[in-house]
Every structure is written in structure tokens, then in C-alpha cells.
Amino acid sequence: MEVESSTAGAAAAAAPLSPGDFRELFDSVDAFLFDCDGVIWKRDRLLDGVSQTLDFLRSKGKKLVFVTNNSSKSRKEYAKKFSSLGISVSEDEIFSSSFAAAMYLKVNDFPQDKKVYVIGGEGIMEELQLAGYTGLGGPEDSKKTAEWKSNCLFEHDKSVGAVVVGLEPVINYYKLQYGTLCIRENPGCRFIVTNRDAVGHMTNLQEWPGAGCMVAAISDSTQKEPIVVGKPSTFMMELLLKKFQIDCSRMCMVGDQLDTDILFGQNAGCKTLLVLSGVTTLSALQDPANDIQPDYYTNRVSDFLDLLGA
């Protein structure tokens, strides 16, 4: 898909965001979509200047939306996290992949009497419950073990009609086996995943295996490709458009990851800005092997204030 660009004659390679670029970008968009991990915060630490930058954008009438692939929290818990960091954000402004998973079932008329097996955290369980679905597994199965004995039959619930896989901090063989059996043996069972991020910021200091790791495991054992509801799939954009009346071309997606955030923005026809405060380094962006180029890049979100002389 062609990337829309606000700069006439822009080259394929991303340009560092200049004051002139940003003025033009700022004037041409009504909404800024922010990824969270590596953009707004790292783990539990708010990145410098983020609070002032968001206040400034709101004061100028810009709509702010937060779009995260991290499925560990529900929207409600994300709103609490923002609040604990001194930022006021309403649940409606948060689009998390945990919420998207529950909404995907809803939008596709998943029957209320079918159950959902979860390989992932509380966030997915909570969103499923809010959407009226019965979730099995998740944290409840964290201490369970599978017995490898002759004549041992692993029982699973035949009424499971969907398996949702997200980031799972307590992955074990029991969960892998349960999810695998549901997908392999329950007719029509759906295989839905929050995202396929290879790594994520589980701590401030290192990248750790992300949801993509658990998704790959189940995709291999079932020999099935999943339905992805998080970035770069545009399903969250569909949800967002139902909520807000903004043209995609008048949105700017701000993220730290090329194959999720920037690709998501491009897939949806948004303007795109990469920040270097998260998983992507400048050399990774400029690596000839990288074929995902945002419209612009800058070091961090708070550069907005300097660029506009705010």
C-alpha cells in the first residue's frame, strides 16, 4: 500500500522530523495515535516530557488515541496506569489488543454459549468478560501440568470455539497442549492472536520475547495461521473509526516499531512517525534490508515541543 506523505516529492527513506515538517504535519492532522511501550513509557517509567507534550496537543484541539499491542491489561487497567503516571486518559481513547480480541469475537457474532480458551494474561480475560464471553485458561492454568504417561488422555472442553493467544508470562506445556487440542479437535475453532511482536519491553533495560513467541508455538503445533487483531492488522482502526469521525489521512500514527506501528499506520492510510525511544534504532531504520519507512522519524515524543517552539 502506498504511504501518503505530507511532503511533496518525499524520497522513500524516512526524513528526520524538521520544524517545518512538523508544522506541516501538525496542521494536516486532527488526531495523533500513539503506541504506548517505548513511546509513552518504558514498563512503569513515563518517558521524559510526555505529559507536557500530550497536554500541549490536547490544548491545541488534537484528538489523542492510544493503540497498544500489549494485551496484558484491559482498557480499564490501562486507564488506571495512565492515571498513576499523572496522565488523564479515558478508556474510550485506549485501543488495546486485549480489547480488540474480544471485539473481534463480538463483530463476528461469536456465540455467547461457546467458550474461549486464553493463552495470555488478565487483560484478555477481563475484556472477554466485559464483552459477555466465558474465558477459560489464562492465569488460572499457570500452575497446571500435563502428565506424559501411557494411556493418559488430556481432556479439553469441547465447547471451546476460539483460542486467543497473547503475551503469556507464565507459558507452560499444559496451556500449549490445551490450546492445540481445541484448535485441532473442536470443529470450526478459531485461532485469534492479539499480535505477533517478536520482542517487547518487559523491563526498562532489555527486550524480552513477545507474544509472537507464543503465537509461533501454537501456529506450529496446529499447523494453522492465526487471525491477528493487533497492529499491523487494521482491525483496531476499524474499531477506532466506529468511535471517532476522523479521516485516516488526517491521523498520524506515532510508534517505535516498524513492523507493527508504522506498518499499521501505512496499512490504514495514516501519516507515520517513528520515535527512536523504543525498540528501533536509527541504524535498524536505515538498514538497507528494512523496507518499512515511516514518513518521518524523531528521537522522542517530547521533541514536538521543541519543534513547535512551544
- Asked if 70 and 167 touch (Cβ cutoff 8 Å), the reply is yes
CA distance 304 to 18: 10
- Nearest-approach distance from CB 165 to its own copies, in angstroms: 11
Among 27, 153, 245, 288, binds its own copies (CB under 8 A): 153
277 binds its own copies (CB under 8 A): no
85 binds its own copies (CB under 8 A): no
Among 64, 199, 227, 246, binds its own copies (CB under 8 A): 199
Is 256 one of the annotated binding-site residues?
yes
Among 46, 64, 107, 202, binds its own copies (CB under 8 A): 202
- Asked if 29 and 250 touch (Cβ cutoff 8 Å), the reply is yes
Show the cell assigned to 285.
531504520
The residue to which cell 490536547 is assigned: 58
Q: Between residues 11 and 153, which has the closer beta carbon with respect to its own copies?
A: 153
Q: Where are the alpha helices (DSSP H) in the chain?
A: 19-28, 50-59, 75-84, 97-107, 122-130, 173-185, 211-222, 235-243, 263-268, 282-286, 303-307
Is 37 one of the annotated binding-site residues?
yes
CA distance 265 to 165: 23
44 in active site: no
Binding mask 33-52 for its own copies (x = CB under 8 A): ---------xxxx-------
Binding residues for its own copies, rule: CB under 8 A, are: 42-45, 146, 148-154, 168-173, 176-177, 180-181, 184, 196, 198-199, 202-210, 212-223
Active site residues: 35, 37
Annotated binding site for substrate: 231
